[in-house]
Structure 1
């Protein structure tokens, strides 16, 4: 659809401006959209084998119809006037170049790749906040278990949803996801009884996490230099996003390997608020 729509933009003469950089590495312009302000779109060939598509439109398609239309306008011989590279694109190019330099330095692993220093003061504040969040979560979970799932009404569900929001403030994004999953299970109206088994499993999972996380965080508070636990999922539960440099440090990165894809599955996970690809 994006290809067809991109061609349609050229036929409708939706492009207000068409430009190219002096060296021909960048195509950029403006395309009329549904709003008052035209979309700024560009295709950057600074790395010829890996063109970069950029557009200010809200589309989730990549590349979007505007950048594809820009390419069609170019190959169809429409007039592209030479113009200086826009400042925002120059800035993005510089940032991309720095990222590549940093990647090269990390890959080299030489003297320039210094170990990351632990900000003990910031870590202590974060751990204290997480422990406080666990106390709040535990009170809620125990209250739900004592009351029984059948007594949960719209008011209780609203309380659970308020706690879901609060977990983010306590740096407990993993717990936030699992508590949101619990709320979704019990928010199904008439079919709620069918979800009781899964909801109870979810509460059990949350309770086990609270106990394990409290011990783990207390240990980390006593020893800020303690390495992350890469052999379990506790750090993901606590909201840690693993960096490639960390995975390399633990010997969990393999290079130049072949992967065989046996299946592909995509689904929307409302608890994680993400589209998941497996």
Structure 2
């Protein structure tokens, strides 16, 4: 963190970029040359935090692009630019923030209000936030009037899912009766048709599980694929039976089963009805995944006082990044509401009580044995869980032969976790972790699961966070 304290680092700014091309283009604009009138109102805030950053960037036309970033929005940073880009943030917003991160000498604190064009957009954004906050209780009040209709819709959907689960059970029985060898080399056609049937049954979670069966069946030669396919069949059978008997399950487990088949709680209803958990939430990592139809953004948080882990999910249409972004490495004083579950992790961001601020220290961690124990405890509550977020306090990354088969080993060498083989596609990231470690122990955040450990963020021994 730089000397100004409230200003972000370049790494935290670049973590907001929707893709690699935006990071590269934004970095090129992080020079004073094309910018004019750049400023921030951070110096005028009572809490010392930055509220907004603005500036005009010379482009190819005669009129400069006007860019403004609201750093104190209730739902995360907000971005506005007069350029035609459909990315959020665009390269101009990234370049402006990178310039601001360099310090007061480059982007000074304004003595007065921002320019009119920036002030108008900031005011409109805050008015929208206020209307949304005022409208939440009204929406909650209207819900009882439509409760009966909503209940009937929910019942119809659950009946359709139950029909789909029953059909899927029959298909699993036919598969096992005929033998797993019958699907070897059979292609994805039958699986795609079954997944489509589950989508028709309004059970996207079951459809995703069917696709896991397809991946297992086509995962390679030998008998490893058969073992994995059998495991996936068992998990899917357990999920089907859990949903068909959901009314007999304890409510936390019933909520987990509903979520796994694809019945999710409405974010607005959760915020209006569930008790919030307020804490200073450290933003541990942010990652985007793109399946060609939807961009899914995952943001992992850790509560400084509660010690709880949380996961925020947001979505964007293909080619358009989700708007929710939080600066990695900073802490946000905010309310979170957790989705009901036997092991709550996914949450909804509620009221933010201040701008992101530096965190005094990284979260506490444990060794690899503790990480496995934590994952095992979470798996006990949610048998379909693939991984659980953990912090390893002192591990060293160890590359395998030819850069494959990586491990993270405890500093004393007593135990180690294999790195998820899927991470080897990002070999540069693993070697970057090795460079941060320098052969010594380093604190690492990631997900521990049945495939191994997935590193997502690291803290250098002599720095607050990377």
Structure 1 length normalisation: TM-score? 0.62
Larger Rg: 1
Q: CA–CA distance in 2 between the matches of 1:12 and 1:20?
A: 12
Structure 2 unmatched runs, 5+: 1-9, 15-23, 45-50, 280-304, 308-362, 366-390, 392-444, 458-466
User: Are positions 1:265 and 2:423 aligned together?
Assistant: no
8 Å CA contact retained: 1:160, 1:183: yes
Structure 1 residue 160, shift from structure 2 partner = 1.0
3-state DSSP class of the match of 1:11? coil
Aligned partners of 1:100, 1:83: CA distance in 2, in Å?
25
Give the structure with the higher percent helix. 1
**Any residues of structure 2 matched to 1:1-278 within 5 Å, and which?**
6=26, 8-11=28-31, 13=33, 25=52, 27=54, 29=56, 41-45=67-71, 52-54=77-79, 58=87, 65-69=94-98, 71=100, 75-76=105-106, 82-85=115-118, 92-101=125-134, 117-118=147-148, 119-191=150-222, 193-216=223-246, 229-232=251-254, 233-242=256-265, 257-259=305-307, 261-262=364-365, 263=391, 264-266=445-447
Q: Deviation at 1:211?
A: 2.6
C-alpha displacement of 1:200: 0.7
Residue number in structure 2 paired with 1:223? none
Partner Cα separation in structure 2 for residue 30 and residue 165 of structure 1: 48
Task: Give the number of equivalent residue pairs.
Answer: 251
Q: RMSD of the TM alignment (CA)?
A: 5.3
Q: Which runs of 5+ in 1 are unaligned?
A: 221-226
Distance, in Å, in 2 between the alignment partners of 1:202 and 1:213 is 17
Q: Is the contact made by 2:79 and 2:89 (CA closer than 8 Å) also made in structure 1?
A: no
Q: What are the superposed Cα offsets for residues 43-91 of structure 1, whole Å, 9 maximum, x if unpaired?
A: 11566x9982426564799x9733424636985259x993424887655
User: Equivalent residue of 1:10, what SS?
Assistant: coil
Q: Which has the higher strand share?
A: 2
SS class of match (1:167): helix
Contact 1:43 1:54 in 2 (8 A): yes
**Partner SS, residue 262 of structure 2:** coil
8 Å CA contact 2:54, 2:69 repeated in 1: yes
Distance (Å, rounded) in 1 between the aligned partners of 2:173 and 2:54: 60
Give the conservation status (yes or no) of the 8 Å contact 2:68–2:93: no
Query: 1:19 touches 1:82 (CA, 8 Å); kept in 2?
Result: no
